Amino acid sequence: MRLPDNYTHRLIDCLTRSRLSFALYRLPWTDECYFIVQASEEVNTLDDITELNGKQGFVIAPFQQTKEHPIVLIHPDVTAYDWPEISQAVASLKYADAILSCKPLATVPVTTMNEEERYSRYFAAFNRFMEPLKNKSIKKLVLSRPAFCSIDENFSPLETFVKACNAYPRMMIYLCHTPVSGTWRGSTPEILLSGQAMNWSTVALAGTMPIENGVEPTEWSDKNKEEQAIVAEYVRKIVKKHGRKTFEKGPYTARAGQLVHLKTDFLFQLKETGFLGDLLKELHPTPAVCGLPKDKAYQFITELEGYDRRYYSGYVGWIDPEGHTDIYVNLRCMEIRSTETKLYAGGGILPSSEVRSEWEETGEKMKTMMSLIPVKSN
């Protein structure tokens, strides 16, 4: 994929600093992208996932819904497909030339923390997470952490989007901005809910290994197998509850960038598509980003992980009960700020987990995003 013309490029970058809400996304194994803009500056926030029932638009939702981090649904006042249409669409936006005069966002202090300090915080959180796992009050937990990369005034969100599209053909790539959520860019391999009419799918994705010297590993540890089985069993129960004529494929090794995961596909039919929000409420958060039992793991993470995940490990994508829906878990993502990007990654923790290997796994996942960020010029 190539960048669009310079005018479109500049305008989309400036939209990330505007009061308008928009999303740009590309589905796996495709070359074209979709563009959605809400014409009004009013932000459409939802108080509960079930409010997505019967709704159409691009949704970005947090891991933990709060007043500060609500579900946001971008209404598709303007839609376009592929760069020629997108260029026409952005040029026709009201006040397009004024948007081009956007100023950089207000500068915020750069987060400074060396590697030793970051590891020390992660180590403490890991030990907190191990307690309920070892006493078996919780079966599985997902521990995540943030990292920060400095950027300068020449940083282009759209350029990182295009780079990601070219680097990761197997992933859903998106760039989304709303005045409430801020600006997010992600490369996610995990479908939360996809389909149309009667035919739908979701996945269980867990277990991670790096690809070394271009060779995909084939032997999975017992820890990875157990983690994937936990996620698959959770998804299986929900699919059987809501769907019919279910079909299951896997687990099998699936590549995502320079990593591989264990994946199980679930195919099923829905009688009624007007209640997708109800289904999403049961699927989110999956054990792949939270744990089991779901409610206990969710409460533990929100209280004791040690930082706010915001929209990381929530979900993003297009929802349309009358057409096609493609919603993904918000993984391998970055939050774009004025002077830095905040990166997020996590991994499943079991009683057999070791802190150093879990730290390294999250580091490998962050490379998916770090490789797309240009080194800040001095």
Using CA atoms, how far residue 357 sits from 114, 171, 195, 347, in Å, is 19, 25, 36, 10
Distance CA 1, CA 199 (A): 30
Fold designation for 6-103+114-370: Anthranilate synthase (3.60.120)
What ranges in 168-307 are assigned the alpha helix state H?
222-242, 276-283, 294-304
pLDDT at 230 over 80: yes
Q: Which pLDDT tens digit goes with each residue over 196-227? A: 999 999 999 888 888 888 888 888 988 889 88
Q: Is the pLDDT of residue 360 over 60?
A: yes
Determine the average pLDDT of the residues in 253-272: 90
What residue spans define the domains of the chain?
A: 6-103+114-370
The CB density around residue 366, as the number of other CB atoms within 10 Å, is 19
What are 89-97's contacts with CB under 8 Å, separation 24+?
89/35, 89/37, 90/8, 90/11, 90/12, 90/15, 90/35, 90/37, 91/7, 91/8, 91/11, 93/11, 93/20, 93/37, 93/39, 94/39, 96/11
pLDDT at 91: 84
What pLDDT, on the 0 to 100 scale, is given for residue 100? Answer: 64
Instruction: Render 198-213 in DSSP notation, one character per residue.
Output: TEEEEEEEEEEEE-BT
pLDDT the model gives residue 140: 92
Q: Give tens-digit pLDDT for 62-110.
A: 999 999 999 999 999 999 999 999 999 988 886 566 566 666 555 555 5
CB contact set of 153 (below 8 Å; sequence gap of 6+): 104
pLDDT range class, residue 48, cuts 50, 70, 90: very high
How high is the mean pLDDT of the chain? 90
pLDDT tens sequence across 271-289: 889 999 999 999 999 988 9
Q: Is the pLDDT of residue 158 over 80?
A: yes
Q: Is the model's pLDDT at 377 over the cut of 50?
A: no
55: confidence class by pLDDT, cuts 50, 70, 90: very high
Mean pLDDT of 139-166: 93
pTM listed for this prediction: 0.92
pLDDT greater at residue 115 or residue 125: 125
Which pLDDT band, with edges at 50, 70 and 90, does 168 fall under? very high
User: Which pLDDT value is given to residue 109?
Assistant: 56
pLDDT at 258: 82
pLDDT at 378: 41
